[in-house]
Amino acid sequence: MTRPIPDLPPWIHEGAQVVLYRHHFSGGSVRFTTVERLTATQIVLADGSRYRRDTLREVGRHYEGPQLLAADDPKVVETIAANQLRDALHAVKAAAEKVRTDHDAETAATRLRDLAEAVAAAQTLLAHVYVGRAARVTDKKD
């Protein structure tokens, strides 16, 4: 008796770009990869790793391992935005520290411009993150 082949989401096919999503207590991480081939029970990725067709989780692992998700999945989008925001905030902190340690006025003025640019970039990212969250919350209510 043969078991039926589990149906796959339309975004999983040979050559498709997929995301390995791993949830962490401090957020999450994403890694883009490609589907190399499909078997009756598994999805084989470009790096040779294998994922179960029925759970989209790595073969031999339970729920602590990475999961395959679509590139436009809300978890992926939010994780990327949060990581970009974290990087922008680190850039603001680094620029502020450089301003604090500069002793000549011309260098300090340049550093202040860099700081203003870093703050503006962080504000833009923050606005996009919250607009995206608000849109997803609104979509769930409808």
Task: Looking at the structure, tell me whether residues 27 and 81 fall in a common domain.
Answer: no
Task: Looking at the structure, tell me whether residues 81 and 64 fall in a common domain.
Answer: no
Q: What are the C-alpha distances in Å from 69 to residues 16, 31, 77?
A: 11, 10, 11
Residue 45 has a pLDDT of 96
Residue 137 has a pLDDT of 44
Cβ–Cβ < 8 Å for 29, 80: no
Task: Looking at the structure, tell me whether residues 54 and 80 fall in a common domain.
Answer: no
Task: Looking at the structure, tell me whether residues 81 and 128 fall in a common domain.
Answer: yes
Q: What are the C-alpha distances in Å from 52 to residues 28, 29, 76?
A: 21, 20, 20
Task: Looking at the structure, tell me whether residues 106 and 123 fall in a common domain.
Answer: yes
Number of domains in the chain: 2
Residue 48 has a pLDDT of 93
| CA dist., res. 107 & res. 30, Å (int) | 38
Residue 3 has a pLDDT of 58
Asked if residue 25 is part of any domain, the answer here is yes
Task: Looking at the structure, tell me whether residues 64 and 84 fall in a common domain.
Answer: no
Asked if residue 4 is part of any domain, the answer here is no
Residue 131 has a pLDDT of 61
- What range does the domain containing 62 cover? 17-69
Tens-binned pLDDT, residue by residue, of the chain (142 aa): 455 566 889 999 999 999 999 887 767 788 999 999 999 899 999 999 999 998 899 998 766 778 899 988 888 888 887 887 788 778 777 777 776 776 677 777 787 787 788 778 777 777 766 665 545 444 544 4
Residue 138 has a pLDDT of 45
Tokens 């979509």, located at residue: 139
Task: Looking at the structure, tell me whether residues 130 and 78 fall in a common domain.
Answer: yes
Asked if residue 5 is part of any domain, the answer here is no
Task: Looking at the structure, tell me whether residues 26 and 62 fall in a common domain.
Answer: yes
Residue 121 has a pLDDT of 78
